Structure 1
């Protein structure tokens, strides 16, 4: 008899496959599509029309009738206008590590067990972590583990902020909050992927955009800007009529294994690896790995925020062995979820698991100085 878990995983895999097929349509020239794919795309355009009406109503209501809560903290919001990874969590880490005052992070806790309750929860007070990754979500657990700061999850951010009283925080970072109006914000930071800021220029489900309005942003940061040339950066800056525009990159920091030993980026040059991850931009992760000059023999993509089973981890390690790979490599966000299984794995297999740490940085020191002159805490 097939278990409910197995049925759910089969359904999730089919939905993930459908989602990827739709995303592939976004990336293609409409003229090159087959007749069948064009029909699918035209149906998506119809749904997009209704989505935009609903979303514009949502924005209008919040702008004109919403009452954002004024807190005792400085509030920095980080968000985007597209689906997929633009590096919000990476920038959140950067802000916490570089602003001298004590900060905290508020997240929704997407696809976590706590999200189903609708309640707010203190993941960490800065000294102790009060749950596992499956309860609070991968991003919240990752940030709490790596930064040692207060982290709160919850759909209602005006209630979440109450859990930070008496923890000595001076400012809050709201992760993925460009479309959230619960708190009065001091700084609204919008991230755009410099390689393709607006995708095919269509909103969901016909394209990657949640919305097209960038005017609410106080600061715009183009991420992955090191992957385009100076001419393209100048075109992006001229095309957006905003004053505070910056360019950043995702720097490769180090590799780390299950024994928490760090390795330099060049240490594994030409070594054979199998990569796996469940993140918003899996292709971006693979491109980062290619920069390390490892020999990527296979890549395994899971749905964003995927909750792994021990059987899946073992299967990935078996695939690695079958390909005579040196090891398997993933992201920090995925690492915090699979480390729960480390005590159950063969020590020989455990030594083959690594993660690549990625950090945010501005393209040059001048932009960094200008940015922190704007962000006054």
Structure 2
């Protein structure tokens, strides 16, 4: 589904009318989060956010996975597998599972490190430990109490912030910002703070700054006419980044986040790109949801995270690295 327009701000009287339901939703989340979770014998790092939809969590998770591996700690990723129909716990197998089974994010993560999909996060962590994990990186799960976290990071998309600042359904928040921030050791701002999100955080919460940079594919598209399409949390960010890289945006098409492309969609998209005499371009996250028969005709632009101060994220990881057990009995 697409987020309602009023979640971004404004909306007249509708957010006010929905506020009583939001209060019930927030109260239910608070009661759920008051329950203690299972404490794993290995470090658990949660990459979460306060809003529904994308904020860059998977990109942050991939970066931290690489950092742990560089320190000799083999991590496992753990996530619910949003968009997939399997509940787990299961170890993702790219040769066996597609995005309809485990979701697009699970496939992106599994390309780098073992990845577990599990609605029951504690059961997923236990499967990871049995499979040799020495650290668990949760992609999302800040509002899931099933597994105790040793380090929780609040990811904020600078272009959308916390929306209108209201809780679902009156706004995009899964819980009040203060409640989410209280369970985190730091926040990560991805991009510039265009919406004043940082002003809503506790003053004593450390803020790490980062930005998304495009892979070498973007430079190859400089001066080229492209037809861009995506189904991600913030399509505008993708389209803008292509233009900033020098691509000529002849056309664009956006879909709801995690949109499940079918053959009909791809035939229409490719026909439009051909009519515009433009190169069809999408994101890596979208690419794994495209039917296999069409993938060779689509150009993918990858992204990676660039920290303003890499030493800050390393400092947060350092205490956890010291606690990684050599074996788990």
TM-score in terms of structure 1 length = 0.77
Q: CA deviation at 1:62?
A: 3.2
- Equivalent residue, structure 2, for 1:108: 80
2:148 match: 184
Which structure has more RCO (C-alpha within 8 Å, separation ≥ 6)? Answer: 2
Within 5 A, what are the aligned runs for 1:357-368?
357-368=302-313
* Deviation of 1:365 (Å): 4.1
Match of 2:187 among 203, 220, 223: 220
Q: How has the CA–CA distance of structure 1 residues 61 and 29 changed in structure 2, closer, same or farther, with 3 Å as cutoff?
A: closer
2:36 corresponds to 1:67: yes
Q: Using the TM superposition, give the Cα deviation of residue 110 of structure 1 relative to its aligned residue in structure 2, in angstroms.
A: 1.1
After superposition, the Cα gap between the structure-2 partners of 1:246 and 1:130, relative to the gap in structure 1 and judged at 3 Å, is same
Match of 1:173 in 2: 137
Other-structure match for 2:102: 136
Corresponding pairs, count: 316
1:45 paired to 2:7: no
Corresponding position: 1:245 with 2:207: yes
Aligned partner (choices 51, 55, 68) of residue 86 of structure 1: 55
Query: How far apart in 2 are the matches of 1:207 and 1:296?
Result: 31
Q: As a proportion of its length, which structure holds more helix?
A: 1
Structure 1 residue 29 displacement after superposition: 4.1
Q: What secondary structure, in the 3-state scheme, does the structure 2 residue paired with 1:220 have? A: strand
The alignment partner of 1:361 has SS state of: strand
Following TM superposition, by how much is the alpha carbon of 1:339 offset from its aligned partner in structure 2, in angstroms? 5.2
1:355 is the counterpart of 2:300: yes
Deviations 1:162-182 (A, max 9, x none): 322432211001111110110
Change (3 A) 1:112 1:194: same
Distance 1:317 1:238 in 2: 43
Whole-Å Cα distance in 1 between the matches of residues 25 and 169 of structure 2?
13
TM-score relative to the length of structure 2: 0.87
Q: 1:329 aligns with which of 281, 294, 297?
A: 281
Equivalent residues of 1:45, 1:205 under 8 A apart: no
Deviations 1:247-297 (A, max 9, x none): 111111232xxxxxxxxx322212111111111111121122222110111
| 2:290 alignment partner, SS class | helix
Q: Cα gap change, 1:171/1:284 in structure 2, threshold over 3 Å: closer, same or farther?
A: same
Distance in structure 2 (CA, Å) of the matches to 1:237 and 1:50: 26
The yes-or-no answer on 1:77 pairing with 2:43 is no
Shifted more, 44-53 versus 98-107: the winner is: 44-53
Q: Distance in 2 between matches of 1:369 and 1:134?
A: 35
What aligned pairs does 1:276-291 form with structure 2 within 5 A after superposition? Answer: 276-291=229-244
1:180-230 C-alpha deviation (Å, 9 max, x unpaired) = 1101110011111234422222222222222222211111111113x76xx
Q: Distance in 2 between matches of 1:142 and 1:74?
A: 22
Compared with structure 1, are the counterparts of its residues 312 and 355 closer, same or farther at alpha carbon in structure 2 (3 Å cutoff)? same
Corresponding position of 1:26? 7
* Structure 1: tracts of 5 or more residues without a match: 1-15, 31-37, 256-264
Pick aligned residue for 1:211 from 152, 162, 175: 175
- Rounded Cα–Cα distance in structure 2 between residues aligned with 1:316 and 1:150: 33
2:168 is paired with a residue whose SS is: coil
Is 2:46–2:140's contact at 8 Å kept on the other side of the alignment? yes
Q: 1:303 aligns with which of 256, 278, 289?
A: 256
Q: Secondary structure at the match of 1:161?
A: helix
Q: Identify if the C-alpha distance between structure 1 residues 57 and 207 changes in structure 2 by more than 3 Å, giving closer, same or farther.
A: closer
CA contact (8 A) 2:187 2:206 kept: yes
Q: Does the C-alpha gap of structure 1 residues 297 and 167 become closer, same or farther in structure 2, counting only changes over 3 Å?
A: same
- Decide which structure has the larger Cα Rg and report it: 1
Deviations 1:100-134 (A, max 9, x none): 210001111112121xxx4422114xxx7442222
Provide the secondary structure at the position in 2 that maps to 1:337.
coil
